[in-house]
């Protein structure tokens, strides 16, 4: 049985289901989504919900270290598993975003509904570019709802330094929730560790005993009741960062901007500079909000453009 089935069965049998420690360790976000937002309509949830990846990206940002070096250090310190795949490839965060999406949107979000990309391909150069442009790199989970259409993703994201999520460092977690009535809220704390996790587990046990004594058990498990409608790629909108290695000659930038125009993608900023390591140039582009479908077409077009030697990096931008 999976989450929605468990909740439905618990509701049928008038039983409680508690799983606070399953997301964000010591942050009481599960109870908050179920009870604290029961009178509001949540439209967006953003989460830094994996301490391993946040530790790695923080160290890469603060020390200019490589992914490989910081991962090895994290394993030595016990912050990363011997096989870190679930963490660094975003699967752990995706599971947590599926849980929060299900609770926040009252629809059955499954793991296969989450678009997932991990941090193993993030380079220290990517992070340096992000910092230069006023961003921090975070493995960010984003669950978004417009009307009743939802999208859920986990991916390395450049977060504007003025946004509170950019300041979440080390093994700490944070969840940012937007409600139509309350506006923006943020929950921050330790995402793992013996005592934070134990605190959440014991709080659940206390709630079980209290509900049984009061005779009100069975009211907490709310099965998802809304039909799931996933956004199409034409409906998923966000800003993008693109780093290109191109031929260093006249007319290249004009060809590239023409491709963006052809697919209706407007540009927020464009910077061209020489690459000290090669006879090529680097073009750094930040777009305005564009559909995922349009950006996929742009990138496919770039693959066949002779003046582009390499599509070095592509990241979502928030803030």
User: What is the per-residue pLDDT across 78-92, written as a single tens digit (0 to 9) for each?
Assistant: 888 999 999 999 999
pLDDT, residue 188, reads 97
Q: What is the pLDDT of residue 56?
A: 97
- Mean pLDDT over 299-313 rounds to 96
pLDDT attached to residue 13: 86
Kindly state the tokens that stand for 76: 């030595």
Q: For a pLDDT cut of 90, what percent of the chain falls above it?
A: 79
Q: Chain-wide mean pLDDT for the chain?
A: 94
The matching CATH number, chosen from 1.10.10.10, 3.30.70.20, 3.30.210.10, 3.30.360.10, for 3-197+226-230 is 3.30.360.10
pLDDT number for residue 219: 74
Residues 6+ apart with CB under 8 A from 15: 9, 217, 218, 221
Residues belonging to the active site: 96
The 10s digit of each residue's pLDDT in 117-145 is: 999 999 999 999 999 999 999 999 999 99
- CATH number attached to the domain at 237-318: 3.30.70.260
Residue 166: pLDDT band with limits 50, 70, 90: very high
Residues 204, 206, 209, 210: what is their CA dihedral angle, to the nearest 10 degrees? -110
How much is the pLDDT for 1?
64
Question: Exposed (0-12), middle (13-18) or buried (19+): which is 251, by Cβ within 10 Å?
Answer: exposed
Q: What is the pLDDT of residue 11?
A: 83
pTM of the model: 0.93
User: What was the pLDDT predicted at 222?
Assistant: 74
**Residues 6+ positions from 5 with CB-CB distance below 8 Å:** none
Instruction: Match 């009535």 to its residue by tokens.
Output: 181
Ranges of CATH 3.30.360.10 domains, the chain: 3-197+226-230
Instruction: Calculate the alpha carbon distances from 260 to 81, 208, 298 in Å.
Output: 41, 56, 6
pLDDT digits (tens, 9 = 90+) for 167-209: 999 999 999 999 999 999 999 999 878 888 899 999 999 998 9
Residues of the chain with CATH 3.30.70.260: 237-318
């Amino acid at each position: 049985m999976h989450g929605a089935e468990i909740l439905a069965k618990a509701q049928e049998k008038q039983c409680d289901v508690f799983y606070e420690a399953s997301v964000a360790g010591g942050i009481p976000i599960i109870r908050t989504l179920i009870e604290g937002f029961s009178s509001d309509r949540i439209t967006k949830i953003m989460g830094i919900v994996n301490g391993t990846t946040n530790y790695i990206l923080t160290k890469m940002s603060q020390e200019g270290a490589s992914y490989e070096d910081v991962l090895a250090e994290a394993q030595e310190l016990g912050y990363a598993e011997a096989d870190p795949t679930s963490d660094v490839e975003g699967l752990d965060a995706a599971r947590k975003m599926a849980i929060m999406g299900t609770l926040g949107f009252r629809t059955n979000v499954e793991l296969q509904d989450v678009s997932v990309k991990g941090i193993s391909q993030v380079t220290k150069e990517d992070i340096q570019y992000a910092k230069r442009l006023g961003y921090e790199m975070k493995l960010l989970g984003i669950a978004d709802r417009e009307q009743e259409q939802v999208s859920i993703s986990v991916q390395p994201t450049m977060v504007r330094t003025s946004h509170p999520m950019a300041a979440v460092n080390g093994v700490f977690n944070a969840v940012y929730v937007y409600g139509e009535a309350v506006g923006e809220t943020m929950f921050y704390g330790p995402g793992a560790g013996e005592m934070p996790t134990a605190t959440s587990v014991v709080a659940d046990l206390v709630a079980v005993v209290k509900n049984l004594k009061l005779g009100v058990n069975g009211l907490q498990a709310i099965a998802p009741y809304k039909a799931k409608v996933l956004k199409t790629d034409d409906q998923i909108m966000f800003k993008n960062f693109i780093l290109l290695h191109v031929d260093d000659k006249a007319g290249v930038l004009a060809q590239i901007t023409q491709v963006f125009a052809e697919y209706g993608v407007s540009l927020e900023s464009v910077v061209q500079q020489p690459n000290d390591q090669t006879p090529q140039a680097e073009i750094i582009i930040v777009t305005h909000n564009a559909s995922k479908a349009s950006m996929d077409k742009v990138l496919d077009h770039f693959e066949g453009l002779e003046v582009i030697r390499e599509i070095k990096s592509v990241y979502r931008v928030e803030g």
